[in-house]
């Protein structure tokens, strides 16, 4: 402002202006500050009146008086520290007691209560934390997916947890699963849950309350069914396979007995088939007095190994 005003003055008057201005400021700068300057109010400080004239009358009224005290440099430092602490405190928000943080006010009191009960039951069934966060806007440079990850870690830590985040400004949805979920269930199923929940949230034909409720109930039912399948697969015998499993040992035992009896019979037959039977040896004594005459007595003699 001073340079613009000096440029409008003639050259012969510019020197007088600068000389008068500097001569008026030198005595004020040489005046020493009093030790208890921090206790004195600015309004009570003596002000030095600058010389009047056509040049000074055109300057701003707040420049006609120069205070002796300078601004304290510690104020910006304290302000920066306060803003940092306040920002950190806002970032470290406490998790909601019922698992739902609805900043959009989309859920009614009754819908909020019912959905909170369903979340509680879901957490007990799967032994994990379940959260819903609906915000009106996102900070600059932060996506909904990144916000969901950060919030889940702040609220649940390392415990198994699932969080669904929704941003009303961008009408975008994101879900964050803890590493335990990615180890329990197939990756393809979890990705399908995320995509389907996003599709439900993008349906503008429904109200925001209906979209939040339908999306939440969808991924809760889907995760319940996946958990039941995982538990069945981890068992040695399924509930429908128990009768069959009990009948198998009985059948095997009966079959073993039958096979043993058939083996005994077959062995006895093979042993009997291996026996040798021979005809007896007949010896007839000589009969004297007649040609080709036979005796009246005979002797039967068998071999040693024959029966």
Provide the b/e sequence for 234-246 (b: ≥16 CB within 10 Å): eeeeeeeeeeeee
Residue 85 pLDDT: 44
Q: Give the whole-angstrom CA distance, residue 102 versus residue 106.
A: 7
Residue 249 pLDDT: 83
CATH 3.10.310.50 fits 100-234, yes or no: yes
Q: Select from 14, 25, 9, 6 the least CA-distant residue to 64.
A: 25
In the chain, how many H helices and how many E strands?
10, 8
Write out the E strands in 24-112. 48-49, 65-66, 100-102
- β-strand partners of 48: 66
Residues of the chain with pLDDT under 70: 1-15, 18, 21-92, 237-241, 277, 279-307
Residue 184 pLDDT: 92
Host H or E run for residue 281 = strand 281-284
What tens digit of pLDDT does each residue of 98-131 get?
999 999 999 999 999 999 999 999 999 999 999 9
What tens digit of pLDDT does each residue of 172-201 get?
999 999 999 999 999 999 999 999 999 999
- List the chain domain ranges: 2-66, 100-234
Contacts of 56 (CB under 8 A, 6+ apart): 50, 64
CA torsion sign, 286 to 288 to 292 to 294? negative
Q: Give the whole-angstrom CA distance, residue 81 versus residue 79.
A: 5
């Amino acid at each position: 402002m001073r340079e613009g005003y000096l440029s409008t003055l003639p050259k012969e008057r510019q020197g007088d202006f600068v000389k008068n201005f500097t001569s008026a400021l030198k005595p004020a700068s040489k005046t020493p500050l009093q030790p208890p300057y921090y206790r004195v109010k600015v309004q009570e400080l003596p002000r030095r009146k600058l010389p009047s004239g056509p040049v000074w009358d055109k300057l701003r009224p707040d420049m006609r008086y120069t205070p002796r005290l300078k601004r304290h440099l510690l104020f910006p430092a304290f302000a920066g520290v306060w803003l940092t602490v306040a920002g950190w405190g806002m970032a470290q928000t406490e998790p909601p007691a019922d698992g739902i943080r609805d900043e959009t006010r989309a859920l009614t009191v009754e819908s909020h209560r019912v959905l909170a009960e369903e979340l509680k039951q879901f957490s007990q069934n799967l032994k994990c934390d379940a959260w819903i966060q609906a915000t009106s806007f996102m900070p600059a440079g932060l996506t909904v997916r990144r916000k969901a990850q950060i919030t889940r870690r702040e609220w649940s830590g390392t415990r198994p947890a699932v969080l669904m985040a929704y941003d009303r400004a961008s009408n975008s949805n994101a879900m964050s699963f803890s590493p335990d979920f990615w180890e329990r269930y197939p990756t393809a199923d979890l990705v399908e849950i995320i995509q389907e929940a996003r599709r439900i949230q993008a349906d503008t034909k429904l109200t925001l309350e209906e979209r939040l409720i339908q999306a939440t109930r969808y991924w809760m039912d889907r995760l319940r069914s996946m958990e039941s399948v995982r538990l069945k697969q981890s068992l040695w015998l399924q509930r429908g396979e128990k009768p069959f499993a009990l009948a198998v040992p009985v059948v095997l035992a009966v079959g073993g007995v039958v096979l043993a009896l058939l083996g005994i019979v077959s062995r006895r037959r093979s042993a009997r088939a291996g026996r040798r039977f021979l005809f007896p040896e007949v010896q007839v004594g000589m009969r004297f007095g007649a040609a080709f005459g036979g005796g009246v007595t005979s002797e039967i003699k068998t071999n040693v190994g024959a029966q």
